[in-house]
């Protein structure tokens, strides 16, 4: 059977849903439960934990909302642990944006720290082929500035550049953290509208060249210039919104 043979412990009914979720999270944390693995059936979990199947079902639904599991229907269905909960994390960030929990300064500060690390790692670990791919995205983005009328479509290329930069740093945790931050940036940009112009593309070309030269000092300097300009634009939007 595709789950741990160790029975789950019984829980107290008053906060049974929270207790069920904690046990499952703890087993994920300890690697006893792994990505792609199927959880025990509702009936078995209910018996082991001393609760109703409805209580188990509610806990699993909460885990689905949090992005930890996916529910599949059919004879081979059930609750399966996700390989990644990046999408759910991004959704939580988007919800926070809608509640005005974040501002442009917070966003830029964190992105600058993470992407400075990404650039330093890319200078050390990115392959020549990966740097070529980064350069190709930069060229596409520059070309789209004059050929693509939809700003939302141009923004996809802008975000993809930074997403690839995180990927080519070869640190999986960095990739996961970067994704929701890029979604925050995209939301701010959609509010501000197109304002970057060719300055962004010139800085991006310099950044790619510095990475190609394996010059981390030059690369981080260019990145800081880029984020200073970005912060100025986003702050202007915040002040006028």
More confident: 28 or 43? 43
Instruction: State both tokens at 116.
Output: 């400075």
Q: For residues 134 and 211, give the distance between their C-alpha atoms in angstroms, rounded to a whole number.
A: 10
To the nearest 10°, report the CA torsion of 11, 17, 18, 22.
Answer: 70
* Residue recorded with tokens 């020549």: 128
Q: Kindly report the backbone phi and psi dihedral angles of residue 11, in degrees, each rounded to the nearest multiple of 5, phi listed first.
A: -125, 160
Burial of 181 (0-12, 13-18, 19+ CB in 10 A): buried
Q: Which of 94, 118, 113 is nearest to 180 (CA)?
A: 94
To the nearest 10°, report the CA torsion of 163, 166, 171, 173.
Answer: -60
Residue-averaged pLDDT of the chain: 84
Q: For 54-95, how does the pLDDT look when each residue is reduced to its tens digit (9 = 90+)?
A: 889 988 988 887 778 888 888 788 899 887 656 666 666 656
* Residue recorded with tokens 């200078």: 123
Burial of 100 (0-12, 13-18, 19+ CB in 10 A): exposed
* Residue recorded with tokens 């929990």: 101
Q: For residues 75 and 58, give the distance between their C-alpha atoms in angstroms, rounded to a whole number.
A: 21
Locate the DSSP E strands across the chain: 69-72, 78-81
Q: For residues 225 and 206, give the distance between their C-alpha atoms in angstroms, rounded to a whole number.
A: 11
Q: For 120-144, how does the pLDDT look when each residue is reduced to its tens digit (9 = 90+)?
A: 999 999 999 999 999 999 999 999 8
Q: For residues 135 and 121, give the distance between their C-alpha atoms in angstroms, rounded to a whole number.
A: 17
Q: For residues 11 and 199, give the distance between their C-alpha atoms in angstroms, rounded to a whole number.
A: 59
pLDDT band for position 1 (cuts 50, 70, 90)? very low
User: The pTM is what?
Assistant: 0.65
The answer to whether residue 217 scores a pLDDT higher than 90 is: yes
Q: Which of 113, 125, 164 is nearest to 141 (CA)?
A: 164
Across 7-16, 79-88, 168-177, which has the greatest mean pLDDT?
168-177
Question: What local confidence, expressed as pLDDT, does residue 160 receive?
Answer: 92
Instruction: State both tokens at 1.
Output: 């059977």
Say which residues have a Cβ less than 8 Å from residue 63's Cβ, sequence separation at least 6: 21, 24, 69, 79
């Amino acid at each position: 059977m595709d789950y741990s043979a160790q029975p789950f412990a019984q829980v107290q009914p008053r906060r049974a849903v929270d207790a069920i979720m904690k046990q499952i999270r703890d087993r994920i944390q300890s690697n006893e439960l792994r990505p792609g693995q199927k959880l025990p059936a509702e009936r078995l979990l209910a018996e082991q934990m001393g609760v109703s199947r409805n209580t188990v079902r509610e806990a699993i639904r909460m885990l689905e909302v949090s992005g930890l599991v996916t529910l599949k229907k059919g004879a081979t269905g059930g609750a399966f642990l996700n390989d990644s909960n990046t999408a759910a994390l991004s959704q939580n960030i988007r919800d926070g944006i809608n509640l005005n929990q974040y501002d442009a300064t917070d966003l830029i500060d964190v992105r600058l720290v993470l992407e400075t690390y990404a650039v330093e790692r890319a200078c050390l670990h990115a392959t020549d082929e990966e740097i070529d791919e980064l350069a190709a995205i930069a060229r596409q983005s520059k070309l789209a500035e004059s050929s693509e009328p939809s700003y939302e479509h141009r923004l996809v290329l802008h975000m993809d550049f930074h997403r690839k930069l995180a990927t080519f740093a070869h640190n999986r945790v960095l990739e996961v953290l970067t994704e929701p931050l890029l979604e925050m940036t995209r939301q701010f940009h959609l509010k501000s509208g197109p304002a970057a112009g060719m300055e962004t593309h010139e800085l991006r070309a310099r950044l790619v060249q510095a990475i190609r030269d394996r010059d981390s000092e030059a690369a981080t300097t260019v990145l800081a210039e880029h984020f200073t300009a970005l912060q100025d634009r986003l702050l202007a939007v915040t002040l006028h919104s």
